[in-house]
Every structure is written in structure tokens, then in C-alpha cells.
Amino acid sequence: MIREIHNRQNIDESCGNGHCSLKEARGGLRDIEAIALMLKAYLETDVGLSEVFFDQVLPKVPHVKKELLTLGLSVRFLRNVRNLYRLMVSAEDRIDPAYLSALSVVFQQCELAHLDSGDAIMAYIRKTLARSARACDCVIDYLISVKNNVD
């Protein structure tokens, strides 16, 4: 799983050329789910993979608190973008930035009011993916260090 995450397309490759893959991008939904599955195995927990997963396991791995908070925020935002895009534009995981402005109407009504254009939404998606990718790397490093200390 770690190798798969590290081999995933970087953000520029997966969010360029007129589309962005929220699922396959480095730091995207697939990476976040893989980290959650690794944490489930490490913690031997039956906590379900929901949007609050990282909040629920946070007390058990305080060494990566900041990263888990980041991943929790990232998964919620990326899923919201994907769901809104599917409802308002097209049922695809690959989004076309040209149509993101349709989502700004919804973001204007919540705490993301600063996302007032398609360009602002795309910039925030890229920023979220980058933060998420860094958080994934930190959690992986933590899990590897814990494993190495046990061996």
C-alpha cells in the first residue's frame, strides 16, 4: 500500500490538461482511504471508514494528531466537491475545472465562502491535495518507525 501511494501521480499530472482526479491524485481520496486502512490494521480497530474516522482514531495515535486532522478535513472537502460536482455537473471522479464555478454557489453558503469562482475552487483543491499528500507521508513515516521499533 505504501508503494502504491508513493507511485501515485503527482498533483500536477493528475490535475492538469483540463481535468483533475480527486480520487487518483497524490493525496486524493484513494490515498486517504489507504492511510485509514493502514491505521485500522495498526490499531486493530473496527472503527468504520467514515468522514469522522480520523477524528475517532486520533486519541490512539497522538503523535500524528496534526496530520490526522488534516486528513479528516481533506476527505470531507474532497468528498463534498466530488458529490457536488456529480449532482451539479457530471457523475465523474475526474472534474473539469471549467465547470467548477457552478459549485461556488453552494460554497458561498458555508464556511468556504472564499471559494467564489472556479479558479478559487481549483486552487483550493490543489492546496488540499498537497496538504493531504504531506500528511499521508507523515503518517506512513510514523507507522514505519513504530514497526521498526517493534521488530
Query: Whole-angstrom Cα distance, residue 150 to residue 131?
Result: 29
Torsion of CA 117, 121, 123, 20, to 10 degrees: -120
Query: Phi-psi region for residue 18, left (φ > 0), alpha (ψ -120 to 50) or beta?
Result: left
Q: 10-residue block means of pLDDT along the chain (151 residues)?
A: 62 66 88 92 83 87 94 93 91 84 85 85 92 93 80 50
Predicted local distance difference test score (pLDDT) of residue 24: 84
Query: Whole-angstrom Cα distance, residue 58 to residue 54?
Result: 6
Predicted local distance difference test score (pLDDT) of residue 110: 80
Q: Which helix (H) or strand (E) element contains residue 75?
A: helix 65-88
Indicate the pTM of the whole model: 0.87
Predicted local distance difference test score (pLDDT) of residue 18: 67
Query: Whole-angstrom Cα distance, residue 99 to residue 29?
Result: 20
Predicted local distance difference test score (pLDDT) of residue 17: 63
Query: Whole-angstrom Cα distance, residue 151 to residue 149?
Result: 6
Predicted local distance difference test score (pLDDT) of residue 77: 93
Domains and CATH numbers, the chain: 2-150 (1.20.120.330)
Predicted local distance difference test score (pLDDT) of residue 91: 83
**66: burial class by Cβ within 10 Å (0-12, 13-18, 19+)?**
exposed
